[in-house]
Structure 1
Amino acid sequence: MKSSSAPLSPRAPNVDAPLIMPQLRGLLSLLLAALVLAQQAAANVEKTIFLGPQTINVPQQGPTFDNLHLDVLSPAADLAIRTRLQAEFPNSTSGSRGKATWLLLDDLTPGQRYEVRVCWAATQPTAFTLEAYEIPAVWNTPALISSLAEYSSSRIREDEAAGDGNAVGSPDSKPKPNNKPRKTRPSPGSKERHASMLLLQILAAADYYTDNQTLMSNVAPVHVDIILDPFIMNILPQSLAPTVGYVLFIATVFWFVAQRTAAWVQKLAVDGSRQLSSKKDQ
Structure 2
Amino acid sequence: MHPITLSLLGILLLPLLTIPVHANVEKTIFLGPPATTIPSEAPDLDDLGLERLTPQNGVVRTQVNASFPSAEAPDGTESWFFLENLTPGQRYEVRICWLATQPTSFTLTTHPLPTTLEDQTFLTSLSKFSASRLSSPDTNFQTNALNRNTNAGPSPDPAPTTSSVLFLRVRAAADYFSKDEALMRDVPPVAVDVILDPFLWNAFPRSLVPTAAWVVVVAVLAGVVARWVVGEVGRVIEDARVEREREMEGEGKKEK
Contact 1:68 1:184 in 2 (8 A): no
Partner of 1:49: 29
Whole-angstrom distance in 1 between the partners of 2:159 and 2:200: 31
Q: Deviations over 1:241-261 (max 9, x none)?
A: 212211211110121221233
Shift of 1:188: 7.1
**After the TM superposition, which of the residue ranges 103-112 and 212-221 deviates more from structure 2?**
212-221
> Cα distance 1:71–1:191, how it changes in 2: closer, same or farther (>3 A)?
closer
Whole-angstrom distance in 1 between the partners of 2:159 and 2:247: 94
Gaps of 5+ in 2: 1-11, 153-157
Candidates 244, 261, 267, aligned match of 2:212: 244
Partner of 1:66: 46
Contact 1:120 1:222 in 2 (8 A): yes
Q: How many residues align?
A: 232
Candidates 207, 213, 228, aligned match of 2:196: 228
Whole-angstrom distance in 1 between the partners of 2:160 and 2:98: 37
The TM-score, its normalising length taken from structure 2, stands at 0.76
Contact 1:73 1:182 in 2 (8 A): no
Partner of 1:143: 121
Report SS of the residue matched to 1:153.
helix
- Greater gyration radius: 1
The AA in structure 2 aligned to 1:216 is M
Partner of 2:139: 166
Partner of 2:112: 134
Contact 2:84 2:159 in 1 (8 A): no
Shift of 1:197: 0.9
Partner of 2:186: 218
Whole-angstrom distance in 2 between the partners of 1:51 and 1:67: 27
> Cα distance 1:277–1:187, how it changes in 2: closer, same or farther (>3 A)?
closer
Report SS of the residue matched to 1:96.
coil
Partner of 1:208: 176
> Cα distance 1:75–1:54, how it changes in 2: closer, same or farther (>3 A)?
same
The TM-score, its normalising length taken from structure 1, stands at 0.70
Does structure 1 residue 183 correspond to structure 2 residue 146? yes
> Cα distance 1:232–1:57, how it changes in 2: closer, same or farther (>3 A)?
same
Shift of 1:205: 1.0
Contact 2:83 2:165 in 1 (8 A): yes
> Cα distance 1:147–1:191, how it changes in 2: closer, same or farther (>3 A)?
closer
- What pairs with 1:105-144 in structure 2 (closer than 5 Å)? 105-144=83-122
Contact 1:67 1:186 in 2 (8 A): no
Using the aligned pairs only, state the percent identity.
37
Q: Deviations over 1:56-110 (max 9, x none)?
A: 122334433223221101122x22122111111110x225311110000111122
Candidates 216, 222, 231, aligned match of 1:254: 222
Contact 1:68 1:185 in 2 (8 A): no
Shift of 1:229: 1.7
Whole-angstrom distance in 2 between the partners of 1:130 and 1:238: 20
> Cα distance 1:206–1:184, how it changes in 2: closer, same or farther (>3 A)?
farther
The AA in structure 2 aligned to 1:166 is T
Report SS of the residue matched to 1:182.
coil
Report SS of the residue matched to 1:114.
strand
Shift of 1:265: 3.1
Contact 2:110 2:169 in 1 (8 A): yes
Partner of 2:8: none
Gaps of 5+ in 1: 1-25, 172-179
The AA in structure 2 aligned to 1:223 is A
Shift of 1:196: 1.0
Does structure 1 residue 83 correspond to structure 2 residue 65? no
Shift of 1:278: 7.4
Shift of 1:126: 1.4
Contact 1:75 1:228 in 2 (8 A): yes
